[in-house]
Structure 1
Amino acid sequence: MTTFHVMAGHDQMVARPAIRRIGIPDVMDALRRGFDDFRAKPSHYVFLSLIYPIAGVVLVTWSSGANMLPLIFPLVAGFALLGPFFAIGLYEISRRRERGMDASWRHALEVRNSPALPSILAVGAMLMALFIAWLVFAQLLYTSLFGPEPPQSLALFLASVFGSENGLLLMLAGNAIGFCFALVVLATTVIAFPLLLDRDVGAVAAIETSLRATLVNPVPVACWGLIVAALLVVGSIPVFVGLAVIMPILGHATWHLYRKIVVDEQR
């Protein structure tokens, strides 16, 4: 039965799982294993991941139709901040496949029965708070440079962004702020959700373990972050359709990255 031990694990103790040092080859191997998991039953995983392209199109359509053109890019880019949480079902499929269990797409919903569900939701709430904070910062930056009035049309908006000094400053500062938010998410959740699925250690321990994993393996984790960012850009170009393939591969690969970084106590 699910219990509400969020700060610590089921034994009320804050766990400190052991961390391994890994290299770039380990990151690439995790990505390869993620692709192998996807290739096992790709139709199921594409079905599960349709939420990403659909959500992307909805976000753009909504922001375009509500005089919120300045938030289109922040919404699309910031949506990736929530990716680690929305991929939770894919981690579960990889976990089951690793153990030789039935790994059909229905089992992605088994997360709802996880004893660590409150902790998972707590870390997910943290990501949502960061997502909202990013949107607030992005809006404040735009209004500080262009004023509170929304652009009258898409053409005028693009002209002001790409044809003025303030537009250049908006892009430079916006990307710098976005990078800081992405770095926080990467460092705090790189293996947090897979760890919670595997062990009910509590939200604090999961975040702290991700931070330690990042500090112990700064170059591999940075490489992983660059791979994720590059693949998300590629998947977003054709109207977000590519995310239906990219997201499951990254989700499964994240599970294998977790296995490489965190020492399994049962082995």
Structure 2
Amino acid sequence: MVAQDLSLNDLRAALRLGWRDFIAEPVYGLFFGGVFAVSGIVLSYVILTYGEFSLLIPAAAGFPILAPFTAVGLYEVSRRREERSPIGWRNVLGAVKGRGDEQILAMGVIIFVAFGFWVIVAHAISAIFLSNAGAGSESLAFLFTSSGIAMLAVGSVFGGAMALAFYAMTVVSLPMLVDRNVDLITAILASIRVVRTNLFVMFIWAAIIAFALFVAIATVFAGLLIALPVLGHATWHLYRRAITVGG
């Protein structure tokens, strides 16, 4: 069953337990946080190297879409700690295979396609505004012009809607696929039900995640070494509260 009584206390409890898991097994958290941080640095370097500065902000804004898939190994760490089972790198890295049915890998493909789609849409939006701006639009100063601000506003609406949609699809589904032998559609529908029936609390959780990742990315991605593992472990514990036995 899907819990219909999530509260802010559940979010505080999830964060507390997430921090506890990170402190208990920091090497896994630092590894996955490092992988995510290095990926962000490489992506930013490639974009800036090829001079596509207009893609930098939308890529940074859409980058958190990839976080739930990166955190799959962290869900497994929390699951094994909860069951008092041996952890080990083989088990943690093997979590991406799920229950042997490749459902998590399929979700990963969906997430990466979504990120690529968002970058394409963002590029199209920027191209429209840049073409109307004329000279001077090739520098970051363009973002502080009326056209630049309008571009950011339009991009934020599309990006925000897309991010919320994928948040609703993944916030519970990925931990559920790690934990249970269910199919992708069942997990996604369960995730959407959790968000729909606990809209205020899950919106606050989305805001916490977005703010934490924004701050982490703003520190030249270094903050992801802490933010990603704590949020990943915390998401596992929130999932355990949101989906009751038999749900």
Same-fold call, TM cutoff 0.5: yes
Is this contact kept in 1: 2:72–2:96, CA < 8 A?
no
Give 1:170's aligned residue: 151
Show the 5 A alignment for 1:218-257.
218-257=199-238
2: distance between equivalents of 1:19 and 1:73? 36
Contact 2:97 2:103 in 1 (8 A): no
Task: Tell me which residue corresponds to 2:244.
Answer: 263
CA distance in 2, matches of 1:150, 1:204: 46
Report percent identity of matched pairs: 34
Aligned equivalent of 1:94: 78
In 2, Cα distance between equivalents of 1:59 and 1:145? 23
- In the TM superposition, residue 149 of structure 1 has moved relative to its aligned partner by 10
- The match for 2:105 is 121
Aligned residue runs from structure 1 range 207-218, under 5 A: 207-218=188-199
| 1:105 Cα deviation after fit | 4.5
Corresponding residue for 1:159?
141
Q: Distance in 1 between matches of 2:91 and 2:14?
A: 22
Q: Which amino acid aligns with 2:186?
A: A
Q: Distance in 1 between matches of 2:102 and 2:164?
A: 24
Q: Offset at 1:103?
A: 2.9
| Residues in 2 aligned to 1:218 and 1:37: alpha-carbon distance in whole angstroms | 27
Mapped to 1, the partners of 2:197 and 2:171 lie a distance apart of 13
Deviation at 1:102, TM superposition (A): 2.0
Report the TM-score when normalising by structure 1: 0.86
Aligned mates of 1:247, 1:233 — CA distance in 2? 11
Question: Conserved in 2, the CA contact under 8 Å of 1:67 and 1:151?
Answer: no
- Following TM superposition, by how much is the alpha carbon of 1:70 offset from its aligned partner in structure 2, in angstroms? 0.6
Unaligned runs of 5+ residues in structure 2 are none
Map of 1:1-267 to 2, 5 A cutoff?
18-21=1-4, 22-112=6-96, 114-147=98-131, 156-162=138-144, 164-265=145-246
1:23 touches 1:220 (CA, 8 Å); kept in 2?
yes
CA contact (8 A) 1:81 1:127 kept: yes
User: How far apart in 2 are the matches of 1:56 and 1:133?
Assistant: 17
Q: How far, CA to CA, are the matches of 1:223 and 1:109 in structure 2?
A: 30
Separation in 1, partners of 2:128, 2:37:
31
Structure (1/2) with the larger helix percentage: 2
Rate the CA distance shift 1:151–1:35 in 2: closer, same or farther, 3 A. Answer: farther
CA distance, structure 1, for counterparts of residue 220 and residue 97 of structure 2: 34
- Judge which range, 59-68 or 142-151, deviates more: 142-151
Shift of 1:43: 3.3
Distance 1:241 1:74 in 2: 19
Structure 1 Cα separation of the partners of residues 41 and 158 of structure 2: 24
Deviation at 1:113, TM superposition (A): 5.0
Query: In 1, Cα distance between the equivalents of 2:68 and 2:244?
Result: 21
How many residue pairs end up in the alignment? 246
RMSD: 2.1
- Residues 124-166 of structure 1: per-residue CA shift (max 9 Å, x gap): 222122111111111111111112999989xx5221111x210
In 1, Cα distance between equivalents of 2:204 and 2:121: 26
Deviations 1:217-242, CA, capped at 9 Å, x for gaps: 10111011000001101111221011
C-alpha separation between the residues in 2 aligned to 1:106 and 1:93?
A: 11
| Distance in 1 (alpha carbons) for counterparts of 2:134 and 2:199 | 41
1:4 alignment partner in structure 2 = none
